[in-house]
């Protein structure tokens, strides 16, 4: 019996949410056990939700954000005090975010026309989830205190993985163009350099994560508009204004 797609989204989301809830009852020393299981569970649940018509590069592009969201949320939870008052909203946010991520992946899978509101909604949700994941990863890295080289390397890899998916979603081709790959590498380089520089500032972990996330948001936003041939002056001004505001917050937050 064929299960209706919307119901499959609900089943996948509830299953992953229950798995995340279960993992929160174990200490961080069990992360090496839960992370591989979480990757497999996220990929499997995504496939269960989206299995019709998956081809070629979509095996990576449609599954990336559900997997990254699960890993980032799981690791981020351990930065909070382990109480039900934090566990309940955390689980709710994860469930809503995962459901929205699966919906946006489905929109990309069916190849919605770009002039439709459905495509614009899917792209915006995916872009927002990417920025949120970047913020979570920033907090996680800052809490580990691994140093500037580790920050630059990990942020570079994550920004490359996410930006190549974001730029691919502009045209939804079955193969990656050299233009998309080159712009993803440039995005990764700029974000890595920015995170490396920020590592030398005495910043609170949340401020560090916020600045890096906004840096990715602005670079990826301007690049996707350029690739989509919609890079107009008012768009540049908006992103530059966001960068200036976050830089002001950065300098006001420095405690020498």
99 band by pLDDT with thresholds 50, 70 and 90: very high
Q: Which two tokens mark 70?
A: 């699960």
The residue whose two tokens read 């990576």 is: 60
- pLDDT score of 119: 85
Angle at 196 (CA atoms; ends 191, 202), nearest 5 degrees: 120
Q: Which two tokens mark 72?
A: 């980032």
Q: Which long-range contacts (CB under 8 A, 24 or more apart) does 235-242 make?
A: 242/214, 242/217, 242/218
- pLDDT score of 52: 80
Q: Which residue has the higher pLDDT, 16 or 114?
A: 16
What mean pLDDT is reported for the chain?
90
Mean pLDDT of 149-165: 95
* Residue pair 15/45 in contact by the 8 Å Cβ criterion: yes
Residue 218 has pLDDT above 90, yes or no: yes
Longest pairwise C-alpha distance within the chain: 64
* Residue pair 73/136 in contact by the 8 Å Cβ criterion: yes
- pLDDT score of 40: 95
Tell me the whole-structure pTM to 2 decimals.
Answer: 0.92
Q: Which two tokens mark 25?
A: 């009852």
Residue 111 has pLDDT above 80, yes or no: no
- Report pLDDT digits (tens) over 189-215: 999 999 999 999 888 889 999 999 999
């Amino acid at each position: 019996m064929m299960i209706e797609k919307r119901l499959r989204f609900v089943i996948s989301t509830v299953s992953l949410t229950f798995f995340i809830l279960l993992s929160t009852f174990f200490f961080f020393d069990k992360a090496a056990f839960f992370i591989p299981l979480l990757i497999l569970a996220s990929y499997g649940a995504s496939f269960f939700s989206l299995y019709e018509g998956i081809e070629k590069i979509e095996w990576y592009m449609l599954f990336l954000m559900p997997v990254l969201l699960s890993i980032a949320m799981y690791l981020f939870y351990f930065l909070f005090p382990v109480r039900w008052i934090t566990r309940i909203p955390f689980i709710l946010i994860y469930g809503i975010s995962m459901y929205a991520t699966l919906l946006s992946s489905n929109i990309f899978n069916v190849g919605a026309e770009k002039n439709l509101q459905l495509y614009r909604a899917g792209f915006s949700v995916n872009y927002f989830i990417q920025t949120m994941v970047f913020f979570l990863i920033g907090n996680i890295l800052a809490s580990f205190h691994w140093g500037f080289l580790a920050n630059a390397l990990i942020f570079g890899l994550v920004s490359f993985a996410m930006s190549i998916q974001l730029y691919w979603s502009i045209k939804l081709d079955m193969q990656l163009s050299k233009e998309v790959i080159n712009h993803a590498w440039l995005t990764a380089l700029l974000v890595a350099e920015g995170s490396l520089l920020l590592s030398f500032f005495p910043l609170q972990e949340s401020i560090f994560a916020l600045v890096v996330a906004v840096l990715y948001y602005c670079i990826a936003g301007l690049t996707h508009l350029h690739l989509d041939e919609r890079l107009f002056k008012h768009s540049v001004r908006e992103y530059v204004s966001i960068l200036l505001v976050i830089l002001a917050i950065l300098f006001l937050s420095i405690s020498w």
